[in-house]
Amino acid sequence: YPVKPGNSFRAIPNFAERFFQQQIEAQPDHLENYALLADCYLRNDKAIEGELVLRDALKLSPNCALFHYRLIEAYSRGEKYDEIATTWERLHNLDPQIPEVLTYRFYRFVENEQMEEAEAALNRLGELRPESREWFAAALNFYSQKRQVEKIIEISRQAYEKYPDSWDFAYMEATIAIQTTRSYQRAIEIYQDQLQKNYDATILATLAEAYLQDSNVPAWEETYQKMLALDPSAPGYYFQMARTYAALQNYDAAQQMLRKAIEICPNNSAYWAKLGEVLRASGGADQAR
């Protein structure tokens, strides 16, 4: 549209933000409006505004765990890491049995190699939220640190059975299947099942790698073509295919993939270097120069 210098403009306020601002003005002692306004701000990535509203709420209710917990999200968005740690400690002082507090402290204990304290936090979390995703993830982390393979296998199987839609648990179960059976068949079945629930490039890439490790090159190629169908302008996919073709000494296919990657991203030196390497390996030394 034509530019008109000097024209005035008016910012259109977010209707939800304006609504809860008005609610706070009309009923300043109704704490739920502060929580909802802060949620609006944070959903729109307005970390500072969300933080200020939550601070106002804490002036009215300084011991409200909800407001402290939401402050952690505001601080995270604002990259205020010292404030995050301080707020977790405040939450712990308010109520050490809050599951999120237990989870946070568990991972800090593990990080500091305080395994007895970590186990106590894990057990208490299991009492409060038995068989929750958080507990399974923490338990797998704990027993991995302890190198207790039998417990890892047992808990991984339970987690996958309880949450078959979870990619994290599915990936862990597939990894264990590969290591214990020395076969990729079970892992491939798990990845294929995950794709029925969540058709995702990450899962496709993992499946493609499993096919390759299982020496099923046609299935690997087919899976990469599905990845390219999702994102045909991703040069990295072509580059990864080229590297694999080069390793298999299929230099014609490697050249083809590299030229497609270069067509999309012509200034990438790694792609040109790999193309030169492939040309030299295939006897095209003059072209490589």
Tell me the average pLDDT across 179-206.
Answer: 96
For the record, the structure tokens of 7 come out as 């024209």
Percent pLDDT > 70 in the chain is 95
* pLDDT at 283 (0 to 100): 78
> Tell me: the pLDDT tens digits for 247-273?
999 999 999 999 999 999 999 999 999
Per-residue CA distances from 47 to 43, 69, 235 (Å): 9, 14, 35
Tell me the average pLDDT across 195-216.
Answer: 97
What mean pLDDT, rounded, does the chain reach? 94
* pLDDT at 72 (0 to 100): 97
CA dihedral defined by 212, 218, 221, 223, rounded to 10 degrees? -80
3-state SS of the chain? CCCCCCCCCCCCCCHHHHHHHHHHHHCCCCHHHHHHHHHHHHHCCCHHHHHHHHHHHHHHCCCCHHHHHHHHHHHHHCCCHHHHHHHHHHHHHHCCCCHHHHHHHHHHHHHCCCHHHHHHHHHHHHHHCCCCHHHHHHHHHHHHHCCCHHHHHHHHHHHHHHCCCCHHHHHHHHHHHHHHHCCCHHHHHHHHHHHHHCCCHHHHHHHHHHHHHCCCHHHHHHHHHHHHHHCCCCHHHHHHHHHHHHHCCCHHHHHHHHHHHHHHCCCCHHHHHHHHHHHHHCCCHHHHC
* pLDDT at 216 (0 to 100): 98
The answer to whether residues 153 and 143 touch, using CB atoms and an 8 Å cutoff, is: no
Q: Does residue 288 carry a pLDDT above 80?
A: no
* pLDDT at 289 (0 to 100): 52
**231: how many CB neighbours lie within 10 A of its CB?**
10
Q: Does residue 166 carry a pLDDT above 70?
A: yes
* pLDDT at 11 (0 to 100): 72
Q: Does residue 1 carry a pLDDT above 50?
A: no
Tell me the average pLDDT across 36-48.
Answer: 95
Q: Does residue 287 carry a pLDDT above 60?
A: no
> Tell me: the pLDDT tens digits for 44-72?
999 999 999 999 999 999 999 999 999 99
In sequence order, the 6+-apart residues with CB closer than 8 A to the CB of 253 are: 241, 242, 245
* pLDDT at 9 (0 to 100): 64
* pLDDT at 5 (0 to 100): 66
* pLDDT at 66 (0 to 100): 95
**42: how many CB neighbours lie within 10 A of its CB?**
20
The span from the CA of 265 to the CA of 271, in Å, is: 9
> Tell me: the pLDDT tens digits for 92-140?
999 999 999 999 999 999 999 999 999 999 999 999 999 999 999 999 9
Rg (CA), the chain: 27
* pLDDT at 6 (0 to 100): 65
Tell me the average pLDDT across 223-235.
Answer: 96
Instruction: Kindly list the structural domains of the chain, giving each domain's residue range(s) and its CATH number in brackets, ordered by start.
Output: 13-95 (1.25.40.10), 107-147 (no CATH), 233-289 (1.25.40.10)
The burial of 159, by beta-carbon neighbours within 10 Å (0-12 exposed, 13-18 middle, 19 or more buried), is given as buried
